[in-house]
């Protein structure tokens, strides 16, 4: 089954008092590139996410975004710096005695003084957090792959129809080729009749010229290779493996054979069919650029 390189998946879940949000999105790229956006405190998740996606995505520029919110403030502990608070209290009491001021010292006034509180970061279980993030990332990945597959089905159907049309036109070219030779032979007879008038025409010479012309415009090899490429194309788009690069190569080969036929074309009808083929191949190429 074909897969598109573009896709998006999003999953959100509350696990162990943490609200975890994971988004995976991808756009076209010749190779596989991984980017992540994770909270600074969880930087260790970057390599784990990269390894998690490894083998599941073969092409495309992939970005994974992670958000983690601790719902109960469990990521930090707030402590009173008792020694500093005691120092403030003693200093204020001494000042009060020396300056003969009213003693209006209160807890609220002390709490506003600098460095009274210490914020202590709670040590977290990295493997436990990764297990939770991995679960949510797995759900996002499933949606991401599903979207890629849905787009891939559309591409498969479009390419199949265009391959059918190309094969049909190739058949017309194969049929047209000997007709072009016969028409050339008739034109040659006619011109020689005009030139030689009542003289005898050397039939063997006409046949020789017709054979030379036939060899010159023969497209049998090109059409055989085209049919072979089309057959390979059909096999690849039914594969469950990533085939984007192979299809890209085959598309170039299709175009090469059609260009050769075009260079050999000696009549307007064949030229028009070549133009049609090139148009269809270009449309296939646009699809292939987005296939994993």
d(CA 140, CA 22): 6
pLDDT in tens, 221-256: 888 999 999 999 999 999 988 999 999 999 999 999
pLDDT in tens, 103-148: 676 777 777 777 777 655 665 788 999 999 999 999 999 999 999 9
d(CA 178, CA 274): 17
pLDDT in tens, 28-70: 998 899 999 999 889 999 999 999 998 899 999 999 999 998 8
Share above pLDDT 70 across residues of the chain, in percent, rounded to a whole number: 79
Q: How far apart are the first and last CA of the chain?
A: 10
Q: Which of 140, 149, 158 is nearest to 11 (CA)?
A: 140
C-beta separation of 38 from 46 below 8 A: yes
Q: What is the pLDDT of residue 98?
A: 74
Q: What is the pLDDT of residue 125?
A: 84
Class in CATH terms, 7-73+125-148: alpha beta
Q: Where in the chain is the domain with CATH 3.30.230.70?
A: 7-73+125-148
Helices and strands of the chain, counted as H and E runs: 8, 6
Work out the pLDDT band at 188, boundaries 50, 70, 90: low
- Type and span of the H or E element at 35: strand 32-37
């Amino acid at each position: 089954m074909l897969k598109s390189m573009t896709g998006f998946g999003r999953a959100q879940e509350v696990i162990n008092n943490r609200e975890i949000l994971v988004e995976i999105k991808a756009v076209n790229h010749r190779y596989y590139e991984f980017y992540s956006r994770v909270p600074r405190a969880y930087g260790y998740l970057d390599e784990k996410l990269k390894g998690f996606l490894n083998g599941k995505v073969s092409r495309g520029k992939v970005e994974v975004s992670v958000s983690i919110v601790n719902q109960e403030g469990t990521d930090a502990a707030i402590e009173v710096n008792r020694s500093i608070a005691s120092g403030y209290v003693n200093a204020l009491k001494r000042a009060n005695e020396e300056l003969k001021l009213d003693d209006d010292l209160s807890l609220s006034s002390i709490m506003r003084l600098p460095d009274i509180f210490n914020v202590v970061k709670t040590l977290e279980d990295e493997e436990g957090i990764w297990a939770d993030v991995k679960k949510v990332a797995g759900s996002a990945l499933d949606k991401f792959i599903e979207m890629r597959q849905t787009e891939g089905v559309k591409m498969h159907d479009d390419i199949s129809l265009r391959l059918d049309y190309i094969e049909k036109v190739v058949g017309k070219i194969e049929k047209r080729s000997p007709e072009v030779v016969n028409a050339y032979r008739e034109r040659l007879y006619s011109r020689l009749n005009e030139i030689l008038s009542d003289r005898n025409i050397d039939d063997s010479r006409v046949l020789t010229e017709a054979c030379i012309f036939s060899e010159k415009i023969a497209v049998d090899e090109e059409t055989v290779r085209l049919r072979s490429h089309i057959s390979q194309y059909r096999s690849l788009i039914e594969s469950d493996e990533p085939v984007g690069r192979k299809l890209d190569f085959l598309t170039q080969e299709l175009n090469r054979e059609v260009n050769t036929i075009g260079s050999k074309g000696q009549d307007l009808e064949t030229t028009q069919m070549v133009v049609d083929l090139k148009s269809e191949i270009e449309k296939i190429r646009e699809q292939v650029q987005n296939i994993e």
